[in-house]
Amino acid sequence: MESSEEEDDFPSIESIIPQSKVDSLYQSHTEKGIRKLCCELLDLKDAVENLCGNMHSKFLAFLRISEEAVEVKHELIELQKHISAQGILVQDLMTGVCCELEEWNQSSNDVTEIQHGPELPENLEPLPNDTNDQKMLFLENIDVLVAEHKFEEALEALDAEEKNYAELKGSGNNPSDDVSSYKSALLERKAMLEHQLVGIAEQPSISFPELKTALNGLIKLGKGSQAHHLMLKFYKSHLQKRIEALLPSSSLCPETFPSTLCKIVFSVISLTIKESALIFGDNPVYTNRVVQWAEWEIEYFVRVVKENAPISETVSALRAACICIQASLNYCSILESQGLKMSKLLLVLLRPSVEEVLESNFRRARRVVLDMEESAECCPLSPKFASSLSAIATSLSAIATSSSSILVESGMRFMRIVEEILEQLTPLACLHFGGNVLNRIFQLFDKYMDALIRALPGPSDDDNLPELKEAVLFRAETDSEQLAILGIAFTILDELLPNAVLSRWMLQSEGKEPNSGSSENITFNTNASAELKEWRKHLQHSFDNKLRDHFCRQYILTFIYSREGKTRLNAHIYLGDNREDLYWDSDPLPSLPFQALFARLQQLAIVAGDVLIGKDKIHKILLARLTETVVMWLSDDQEFWGVLEDSSAPLQPLGLQQLILDMHFTVEIARYAGYPSRHIHQIASAITARAIRTFSARGIDPQSALPEDEWFVETAKSAIHKFLLGASGSEASDTDEDHIIVPDEDVSDSDTVSSLSSMDSTESFASASMAELDSPSNLFDSDN
């Protein structure tokens, strides 16, 4: 088999060639390469082993050298102490020699005098100066104790010596030379001892027990102020070392860094207060120094937090700021139990940076919501808020139409960014910065309303408005799309946004510590309740005066100015030369524009019922505002009244009757639909009064030309009933018909319709309250 394979591989070879020769001649390059690589790997392995061995030996040598360096350092310190002690001994020896020489000289002079004087009895010869010898021995003992760093024994000896020699404490007028020199020697020893104690206290590697010993020594020497300064200096140095050791972790753990730093700073401050009270007592001077020192350290703490904080517009920066507030204020409450109140100072120092972080995060939120850009940082929400986002998506999707999914996305973005910010807040951050957060959420919601307004038809289509410079990602053309915009905005306003804020505020209220004080809890709940109530008013005002009123104004104006012919609402339909447009003789009816308005509102109500499912409140409010907008436009339109008040206009009693019937018909539309409003009734009454004055000025007597008010009410109700029971095939836009009949719809019996006309019914209607509908705001205000 081998030969056959070789023949296949080498067909030109006819004879059998030995395998060894074949291997030597035709060995593959791959095998050669593998062998070469194996050799190189073996060489590399040897090199690595040698390197590891060298590294191990060098590392051991490094450790040995380090230990030797530490030993040499200790030896140098001991040598320095020994040299200092020897210097003191040499100085004392020189002082002693000088004293001996002086005494010897004095004794020589005395001996000379005695030799020349009379001889004294043996028992009257002077005794040796034992007292001076004891003093010299005492001073030498003090020098030895100081040299051996036995400071406590030296202090005790000095104290005992001063007690034994009362003349050392006295300040006599003429102290003897011996007392003065001895007192000076003791003062020199005290100064030397003080210098030694200060040097020990200033050593960077000193332990606190050694420091405490040195401080007690300085206090015994009467240097309490200096000792207190050295204690504060020690704790400041200790605090800076710990902070410097923590700084590298600021970039690795940006959210927990402030709380860890806070724990270090406030624990050192607390320890300083405690030790100062133990060592120095309750001296007000020292207490004030500790307070001032603590203020400096808190300022330094805030500065370090600012310098090492994340980028201000990130969620991490907001979370870090809130954690810093929570931790630092908690530690401040602990310091208050020690008599140190730092909360106000801390809030003053932190407020600018916290407000800057809030402003940056809400600026990012505006970009995400209004520009629809992706968030640079996506912070994972807690399970609670993740589930709430799912509920938000369900709520918004139920309103959106098939062509307005982008609206749901914008609403989701708005709620997600708000809940992302809210989730970072801690209880104490809500307590002290909750009003600021609520105000910024309102500003974000107000900008969101402006963005939704640009999606509605209206003045923003004109070239003279700056809004056109901003991109509009969605344009609502149909009624269902416009109502979807209003429904999503109202859902955010009425349900989603308040629920998100209230849930967070309730968590903060429940999360307050039990020992924080009932009065503080009551103040927190009262202030939070007032802030939330005012905040909701601002939200409602933004929605009402911007988005809702813009929709109503543009919807009615489009209805009025887009119609042509007989259904166009203008003053000419009430003039005497248009009698064919007035149906008064046999079957009085509202004018064609108001019939078309009724049909249009009915159609919009049907669309709203399909789009705003479960939103009866906004449904009825919108229809009420639309009806109100019609009468407000009629009341304010100068062109309309200019035609009627023109002296050349052919006014007839029939025109006045038709105008008053149209006003009653408008009021009855609102009552029938379940959204009666005093404001509509007041404006309609004002229009009626002005029309009567106008026609009266032209010689028309209202008393003889007009029937009773009950007739107008019953005629308006009858017209509504007739329209509702009319043929379903009629179209509201058909101007060739004599009457405009709305599609069939289920209605209640005549008694129910009659009850809607009563004034009592204006007090309650469906789910919209009078407070919500009877707003006196002018929808045509230029500011809106």
Task: Find the CATH number of the domain harbouring 105.
Answer: 1.20.58
* Per-residue pLDDT at 299: 94
Q: What integer best gives the mean pLDDT of the chain? A: 76
Kindly state whether residues 146 and 279 are assigned to the same domain. no
pLDDT winner (highest mean) among 181-190, 438-447, 677-686: 438-447
* Burial (0-12, 13-18, 19+ Cβ within 10 Å), 83: exposed
Radius of gyration of the chain (CA): 50
145: pLDDT confidence band, cut at 50, 70 and 90?
Answer: confident
User: What is Dmax (Cα atoms) for the chain?
Assistant: 170
Residues 197/199/202/203 CA torsion (nearest 10 deg): -110
Query: Is 449 within 8 Å of 489 (Cβ atoms)?
Result: yes
- Average pLDDT value for residue range 186-212: 81
- Average pLDDT value for residue range 487-499: 89
Kindly state whether residues 542 and 643 are assigned to the same domain. no
Q: Is residue 249 part of a domain?
A: yes
Q: Is residue 162 part of a domain?
A: yes
Q: Is residue 531 part of a domain?
A: yes
202: pLDDT confidence band, cut at 50, 70 and 90?
Answer: confident
Q: Is residue 31 part of a domain?
A: no
% of the chain beyond a pLDDT of 90? 23
* Burial (0-12, 13-18, 19+ Cβ within 10 Å), 404: buried
* Per-residue pLDDT at 740: 40
Quote the tokens at residue 419. 């809940």
Using the predicted structure, report yes or no on whether residue 480 has a pLDDT greater than 60: yes
Kindly state whether residues 215 and 227 are assigned to the same domain. no
Query: Is 447 within 8 Å of 370 (Cβ atoms)?
Result: yes
Quote the tokens at residue 337. 């139990």
- For residue 678, which of 747, 771, 745 has the smallest C-alpha distance? 771
Reported as half-sphere exposure (CB side, CA atoms, 13 A), residue 371 has a value of 10
Using the predicted structure, report yes or no on whether residue 50 has a pLDDT greater than 50: yes
* Per-residue pLDDT at 330: 93
* Per-residue pLDDT at 166: 58
- For residue 141, which of 120, 156, 126 has the smallest C-alpha distance? 156
Strand spans (E) along 417-552: none
The neighbouring-strand residues paired with 765 are 768
Quote the tokens at residue 635. 């009341």
Kindly state whether residues 586 and 723 are assigned to the same domain. yes
The pLDDT tens digits for 163-173 are 666 555 555 55
Strand spans (E) along 370-507: none
Kindly state whether residues 359 and 462 are assigned to the same domain. no
- For residue 495, which of 638, 583, 618, 333 has the smallest C-alpha distance? 618
Using the predicted structure, report yes or no on whether residue 113 has a pLDDT greater than 80: no
Interatomic CA distance for residues 281 and 287, integer angstroms: 9
The SS3 assignment for 161 reads helix
Instruction: Give the contacts of 586 (CB within 8 A, at least 6 positions apart).
Output: none
- For residue 538, which of 453, 430, 446, 450 has the smallest C-alpha distance? 446
Q: What phi and psi values does residue 738 have, to the nearest 5 degrees?
A: -70, -35
Interatomic CA distance for residues 595 and 583, integer angstroms: 12
Instruction: Give the contacts of 531 (CB within 8 A, at least 6 positions apart).
Output: 434, 435, 438
18: pLDDT confidence band, cut at 50, 70 and 90?
Answer: low
- Average pLDDT value for residue range 199-228: 84
First and final C-alpha spacing in the chain: 100
Domain end, chosen from 505, 531, 562, is at: 562
Using the predicted structure, report yes or no on whether residue 222 has a pLDDT greater than 70: yes
Domain carrying residue 198: 70-109+131-169+179-221
Kindly state whether residues 241 and 217 are assigned to the same domain. no
Residues 228/231/235/240 CA torsion (nearest 10 deg): 90
* Per-residue pLDDT at 726: 67
Using the predicted structure, report yes or no on whether residue 651 has a pLDDT greater than 70: yes
Interatomic CA distance for residues 337 and 478, integer angstroms: 66
Give the other-Cβ count within 10 Å of 203's Cβ: 13
The SS3 assignment for 769 reads coil
Domain end, chosen from 157, 191, 221, is at: 221
Query: Helix %, strand %, coil % for the chain, to 5?
Result: 75, 0, 25
The SS3 assignment for 765 reads strand
Query: Is 682 within 8 Å of 689 (Cβ atoms)?
Result: no
Strand spans (E) along 191-291: none
Q: Is residue 502 part of a domain?
A: yes
- Average pLDDT value for residue range 568-575: 84
pTM tops 0.75, yes or no: no
Kindly state whether residues 212 and 228 are assigned to the same domain. no
* Per-residue pLDDT at 351: 94
Residues 324/325/328/331 CA torsion (nearest 10 deg): -130
* More reliable by pLDDT, 121 or 671: 671
Kindly state whether residues 281 and 199 are assigned to the same domain. no
Domain end, chosen from 532, 562, 592, is at: 562
Interatomic CA distance for residues 400 and 225, integer angstroms: 75
Residue at token pair 């002079």:
109
Using the predicted structure, report yes or no on whether residue 604 has a pLDDT greater than 70: yes
Kindly state whether residues 736 and 670 are assigned to the same domain. yes
Instruction: Give the contacts of 188 (CB within 8 A, at least 6 positions apart).
Output: none
Q: Is residue 21 part of a domain?
A: no
Kindly state whether residues 328 and 418 are assigned to the same domain. no
Using the predicted structure, report yes or no on whether residue 370 has a pLDDT greater than 50: yes
Residue at token pair 């005497």:
576
- For residue 471, which of 410, 419, 423 has the smallest C-alpha distance? 410
* Per-residue pLDDT at 281: 86
b/e string for 46-81 if b means 16 or more Cβ within 10 A? eeeeeeeeeeeeeeeeeeeeeeeeeeeeeeeeeeee
Interatomic CA distance for residues 475 and 452, integer angstroms: 9
The conformation of residue 768, written as its DSSP 8-state character, comes to B
- Average pLDDT value for residue range 171-189: 64
The pLDDT tens digits for 360-369 are 999 999 998 8
* Per-residue pLDDT at 734: 41
| Range with lowest mean pLDDT among 415-429, 489-503, 720-734 | 720-734
The pLDDT tens digits for 281-339 are 888 899 999 999 999 999 999 999 999 989 998 999 999 999 999 999 999 999 998 88
Element (H, E) at 752: helix 750-756
* Per-residue pLDDT at 399: 56
The neighbouring-strand residues paired with 768 are 765
754: pLDDT confidence band, cut at 50, 70 and 90?
Answer: very low
Using the predicted structure, report yes or no on whether residue 143 has a pLDDT greater than 50: yes
Number of domains comprising the chain? 4
The SS3 assignment for 377 reads coil
Kindly state whether residues 479 and 425 are assigned to the same domain. yes
Which sign, positive or negative, has the C-alpha torsion 35, 39, 45, 48? negative
**What DSSP string describes 569-631?**
-SGGGGSGGGGGG---SSS----HHHHHHHHHHHHHHHHHHHHSTT-HHHHHHHHHHHHHHHH
Instruction: Give the contacts of 538 (CB within 8 A, at least 6 positions apart).
Output: 442
27: pLDDT confidence band, cut at 50, 70 and 90?
Answer: low
Q: Is residue 468 part of a domain?
A: yes
Query: Is 757 within 8 Å of 620 (Cβ atoms)?
Result: no
* Per-residue pLDDT at 410: 84
Kindly state whether residues 234 and 214 are assigned to the same domain. no
Q: Is residue 504 part of a domain?
A: yes
* Burial (0-12, 13-18, 19+ Cβ within 10 Å), 698: middle
